[in-house]
Amino acid sequence: MRRIAPVVMAGTLLLAAGCDGGGGGTSPSAAFDPATCQGGTLSVLNQGGISHLDPARLYTSGGGNIPSLLFRTLTTRNRQQGEAGAKPAPDLATDLGTPSDGARTWTYKLRDDIFFEDGTPITAADVKYGIERSFAPELPGGAPYLRDWLRDAAGYQGPYKQPEGIKAIETPDDRTIVFRLRKPEGDFPYLATATQFAPVPKAKDKGVGYEAHPISSGPYMVESYQPKKSLVLVRNPHWSTKSDSLRYACPNRIEVTSGLDAAVINQRLVTGAGQDANAVTTDAVVGPEQLAQLGTGGPLDKQVARGEFPATYYLAFNTKKAPFDNEKVREAISYAVNRTSVVNALGGSTVAGASTTFLPPQKALGYQPYDYFPAGGTGNPAQAKQVLADAGLGNLSIELTHQNDDAEGQGPKVAAAVQEALKQAGITVKLTAIGTATYRDVTGKPATEPGLSLQYWGADWPSGGPFLIPIFDGRQIIKAGGNFNLAQYDDPSVNAEIDAINALTDQSQAQARWGALDAKIGKLALTVPLAHEKDVYLFGKNVRNAVPDGWRGTYDLARISVK
């Protein structure tokens, strides 16, 4: 998944990232009690607007956590702080599913105390229909995995064109749903958190018009919605904490306002005038002005939440294009990079950390430390020069492609940092900017992909699979465009290991194997990991329990209060 990276451009800020309690912060407030937290209005101040509110068109149950207030899914994030929060948990289902046939079949039993906002019981058929809608070309944008994972479903065009449905999804009774896959998938409980697993009552479906008022299965329902502008949520009277202990649903009302400037959002959160004292944001990371105030013991330290979304900033090589088809060139660049300057360009050590591995340093992903091309904190130009000399290469000139703005951490500032570091190793770098709107189109098509580009990758769920598979599985190479395997790397032994790990349902075993695979691929210098993402979000002074979970790196709107 390519989440918009929460980058703060702030020169050379190098602040220590700590854990701040009080007022909610990054540890639960002692005054917070989920049994007595109900009441008040929560304001959500955002930059980006919600373009679509149809669960079929939402990519995951993330979306700033807003969709999860409306839609329950078969499983959900465990919504806990730290490592526990990086695991799935039952939601509409009674457990994480029962695998059989070597993880090619997954069976779920639904709870019997789950209802839509109109009081209608939620059935397995509603879940199946919701999934089938996500295949409709009229409703693009959802997670693509099921089209590949389900048996004989690749060509399905949704219930409007093919009302017979997907045969690989069976509903033998109202409380049972069975998925038959074409290959083993041990990560299925993670995928079942995606909003395409939200139930949709067929009788209420209005096709593309459904999102004007989607039928809620979560703690809140829609009072009003203006795409990209505003969303107002009120309580769903047929939701109960007895059937959903993970969502606390404290506020009585949630008002989302979009289209605001990030600096304005942060200033409003700091000032906390009127209703802004009860405000949060799901997409405006802390700005340079506020960063400078953190860690001083001041009042703002009690209004900050720190987490880590699993994501990596990196240099991507096109190994089909000279000189990057030469492994020694790739190794030399790996030695030459100055990760301190990259971290500074991203906003400092509060919002980014230096990385030498493709997997970010999170246990849930299977992180295994390695550093095959030690560059220290500021680069190793001498070793880079030696590698090039030993290979008979000198006066190397290359081109680095980047986005034309810094908003996503792939822009001019990071590019300039890389350029200067490579200059110290005798490598001349020409910088070429491409508009952000078309960047993925150009770099993601093998025919137009440059030799070297700045990239960012974030995982759809906290596991090594969605991190390594799109980038290094040779069967994922897409010639027509939308390709993420930018090295165009295709090793049958790596592909086979991916299949073997996918068949594991024991996540501890899978983690060890993903980490080992990352370490194996890392020796080839197919990418140069630069930094991993850190997240810093402010919240209003009346907000409580703003605790980042181990999955998304930010606080969960379903668990905070304003009372």
Is 506 found in the same domain as 374?
Answer: yes
Comparing CA positions, the residue from 530, 531, 528 lying closest to residue 350 is 531
Domain-located, residue 256? no
- The domain boundary residue, chosen from 215, 233, 258: 215
Is 169 found in the same domain as 318?
Answer: no
Sheet containing 311-317: order of strands: 352-354, 527-533, 311-317, 452-458, 397-403, 428-434
Comparing CA positions, the residue from 127, 243, 332, 262 lying closest to residue 537 is 262
The residue assigned the tokens 């996500």 is: 134
What's the CA angle centered on 350, arms 344 and 356, to 5 degrees?
Answer: 65
Domain of 60, in residue numbers:
56-215
Paired sense of beta strands 230-235 and 253-257, if any: antiparallel
Q: What CATH number is associated with residue 445?
A: 3.10.105.10
Could you tell me the CA-to-CA distances from 210 to 88, 139, 213, 224, 510 in Å, in that order? 28, 10, 6, 13, 39
Could you tell me the CA-to-CA distances from 283 to 63, 66, 149, 409 in Å, in that order? 9, 11, 31, 15
Q: How many domains does the chain have?
A: 2
Predicted local confidence at residue 285, as pLDDT: 84
The residue assigned the tokens 């009774």 is: 173
Domain-located, residue 349? yes
Is 330 found in the same domain as 194?
Answer: no
Domain-located, residue 382? yes
Question: What whole-number distance in Å separates Cα of residue 523 and Cα of residue 331?
Answer: 9
Residue 155's contacts (CB-CB under 8 Å, 6 or more residues apart) are: none
Is 372 found in the same domain as 493?
Answer: yes
- The domain boundary residue, chosen from 215, 243, 267: 215
pLDDT 10s digit of each residue in the chain, 563 long? Answer: 444 444 443 333 222 323 333 334 444 445 789 999 999 999 999 998 888 999 999 976 444 589 999 999 999 999 998 889 999 999 999 999 999 999 999 999 999 999 999 999 999 999 999 999 999 999 998 888 999 999 999 999 999 999 999 999 999 999 999 999 999 999 999 999 999 999 999 999 999 999 999 999 999 999 999 998 999 999 999 999 999 999 999 999 999 999 999 999 999 999 999 999 999 999 888 888 898 888 888 889 999 999 999 999 999 999 999 999 999 999 999 999 999 999 999 999 999 999 999 999 999 999 999 999 999 999 999 999 999 999 999 889 999 999 999 989 999 999 999 999 999 999 999 999 999 999 999 999 999 999 999 999 998 899 999 999 999 999 999 999 999 999 999 999 999 999 999 999 999 999 999 999 999 999 999 999 999 999 999 999 999 999 998 898 889 999 999 97
Question: What whole-number distance in Å separates Cα of residue 77 and Cα of residue 89?
Answer: 6
Question: What whole-number distance in Å separates Cα of residue 263 and Cα of residue 311?
Answer: 24
Is 336 found in the same domain as 210?
Answer: no
Is 348 found in the same domain as 487?
Answer: yes
Domain-located, residue 27? no
Question: In a 3-state reduction of DSSP, which class is residue 552?
Answer: coil
Domain-located, residue 42? no
Is 331 found in the same domain as 453?
Answer: yes
Could you tell me the CA-to-CA distances from 404 to 236, 337, 448 in Å, in that order? 44, 21, 17
Q: Which residues pair with 106 in a beta bridge?
A: 99, 179
Domain-located, residue 474? yes
Domain-located, residue 116? yes
Question: What whole-number distance in Å separates Cα of residue 533 and Cα of residue 456?
Answer: 10
Residue 256 region, left (φ>0) first, then alpha (ψ -120 to 50), else beta? beta
CA dihedral 183, 185, 186, 190 (to 10 degrees): -170
- What letters, b where the CB count within 10 A reaches 16 and e where it falls short, cover 527-553? bbbbbbbbbbbbbbbbbbbbbbbbbbb
- The domain boundary residue, chosen from 166, 188, 215: 215
Domain-located, residue 296? no
Predicted local confidence at residue 257, as pLDDT: 96
Question: What whole-number distance in Å separates Cα of residue 473 and Cα of residue 494?
Answer: 7
Is 481 found in the same domain as 363?
Answer: yes
Question: What whole-number distance in Å separates Cα of residue 560 and Cα of residue 254?
Answer: 11
Is 516 found in the same domain as 403?
Answer: yes
Question: What whole-number distance in Å separates Cα of residue 432 and Cα of residue 360?
Answer: 28
3-state helix, strand, coil in the chain (%, to 5): 30, 20, 55
Helix or strand (DSSP H, E) at 501: helix 492-502
Question: What whole-number distance in Å separates Cα of residue 232 and Cα of residue 470?
Answer: 36
Structure tokens at 179: 């998925």
Structure tokens at 117: 């906002």
DSSP secondary structure letter of residue 202:
G
Is 525 found in the same domain as 420?
Answer: yes
Is 383 found in the same domain as 522?
Answer: yes
Q: What CATH number is associated with residue 130?
A: 3.40.190.10
Sheet containing 279-280: order of strands: 220-226, 230-235, 253-257, 41-45, 279-280
